[in-house]
Structure 1
Amino acid sequence: MAEAQTFSTAPATPRHRIEVLYSNAVDVWVAWLPQFQDATGRYPVLAPAERKVAADPARAATRVAIRTLLARYCGSTPADLRFKTGPFGKPELIDSPLSFSASRRCNLALIAVAAKGRLGVDLEISRPLPELDGICAMLHPAERALIANTPRARRKYLFYRIWTRKEAALKAIGTGLAFGLDGFSVVGEQICNRVAGPCLTAGAAPLALHDLTCGGNWLAAVATEIDAARPRLFALSPPETAQGDCS
């Protein structure tokens, strides 16, 4: 697998909005969630239905970070954005062609934004996996074989790379894990880092997969229909802070 990209620190600006709307750019932002939490628990930028998650500060902060970022791309305010959900619960913007996807682990979130097309992102933290062999049994045979033929010291890293790719692809097609993990492969020269086979609907473009990292034990991947240069990576800051933190 190719070397993963790492994040730089830069605030969202109108330039990002123009580039993502009028080019094939795909932007991925890392958000440090404590910066988006509301100590009062009110979260005024969220819709009434979204405020039901306020009891979970990390979930509520993720919603705020998503609205904060997308509003900058849409030239709107965070509270004015409207969303709908697909048949498997994937959120989509109303009255905007932008695609987005988000993933959260602990106090960190990734938010991917593209001008169009299917898009998915997944974030994981590398933890000890004593049950690795059992989890690998759920993967595609080609992926299981690759892990089995990898030196044991590298197997956990390879597993997380495969897992984040698969989750990103499943989020892009909108099903999540409901589709299953063993019906397609994200490794092997025959697919050239493109998701092939049954996870694509008739006539749909293949998904380009990109490995990402934001430091430490954090691993991530993004899946996009846009066949362009590798995603641009940034750290997201709320307006009142100077820069984000992806450590």
Structure 2
Amino acid sequence: LSLFQGFLSFADLERADRFRFGQDRRDFILTRGMLRVLISRYVHTAPERIDLIYSPSGQPTLAGAHTPPLKFSLSHSRDLVLYAFALETPVGIDVEFCGYDLDFQAIAGAFFDPEEQQFLESVPGADRGAVFFRLWSFKEAYLKARGLGLSTSMPRYSIGLPGPGRSRVVVSEDAHGPLSPPREWLIQSVEVHPEYLAAVAAEGTGWSLQFWEVSPPASGNGGES
């Protein structure tokens, strides 16, 4: 853990110290430290010299101009962390652990639009949890790619209905003026583990995914792990 602490900025370390529970603090240090390690491999800069800034919704981005122009997103749920990287194209990713027994309809009432709520209510009870988490992961990945806050934007944006067996959704954004074509965003499910559902979203429809599984590097200094 000490290796990753050394990669973080003072602001990130302050943020880590504000977590109430030790496990949450440890998870934050590991996920943000690993993010800096991965970014460093793209921009050829030491992890501790990566300068990140945060949007009002809390999403990190690279400060200043970099070559290549890197866009990225991360998501953490229980024991799994996913990172998405793209060149120039805005990207968002989300992963959700599906083992929680929740009041799915009540949560949908607060965060989904009326059509999505009605669709979820029509799903048989045995499948409702999987459909809920699929829809949630699609929406969160899309909103992250758009750079929008989740709490205020979730009910306002409908992204289609990714029911069972549907792994891709294309969302068309309204044109910004008569001469601007609509922007399209592809949201695609990502199969990572039987107990998790995940999705990645990016602008355009011609992109494809490449996958890597990475492990945190060993510190080699006998520090806490």
Structure 1 residue 145: deviation in Å? 2.7
Number of the residue aligned with 1:51: 13
Partner of 1:236: 214
> Which residue, out of 168, 171, 174, partners 1:195?
171
1:166 to 2:139 alignment: yes
Whether the aligned pair in 2 keeps the contact of 1:170 and 1:179 (CA below 8 Å) is no
Question: Counting helix residues as a fraction of each chain, which structure ranks higher?
Answer: 2
Tell me the equivalent position of 2:2. Answer: 38
Q: Secondary structure at the match of 2:107?
A: helix
Q: Equivalences for 1:49-88 in 2 at 5 Å?
A: 49-55=11-17, 56-88=25-57
How high is the sequence identity, in percent, across the aligned residues?
28
Change (3 A) 1:85 1:128: closer
Q: Are positions 1:175 and 2:137 aligned together? A: no
Asked if 2 retains the 8 angstrom alpha-carbon contact of 1:58 and 1:106, the reply is no
The alpha carbon displacement at 1:240 in A equals: 4.3
Write the letter of the residue equivalent to 1:66: L
Output the CA distance in 2 between the equivalents of 1:64 and 1:144: 38
CA-based RMSD of the aligned residues comes to: 2.5
CA distance in 2, matches of 1:143, 1:104: 24
Amino acid at match of 1:63: R
1:105-184 pair list within 5 angstroms: 105-138=77-110, 139-184=112-157
Give TM-score, length-normalised by structure 2: 0.78
* Shift in alpha-carbon separation, 1:227–1:71, aligned structure 2, 3 A: same
Worse-matched range after superposition: 165-174 or 83-92: 83-92
Higher relative CO (Cα under 8 Å, sequence separation at least 6) belongs to 1
Alpha carbons of 1:153 and 1:201: their partners in 2 closer, same or farther (altered >3 Å)? farther
Residues of 1 paired with 2:193 and 2:80: CA distance? 12
Q: Which runs of 5+ in 2 are unaligned?
A: 18-24, 163-167, 220-225
TM-score (norm 1): 0.72
SS in 2 for 1:237: coil
Unaligned runs of 5+ in 1: 1-36, 242-247
Aligned to 2:21: none
Q: Separation in 2 of the partners of 1:201 and 1:93?
A: 26
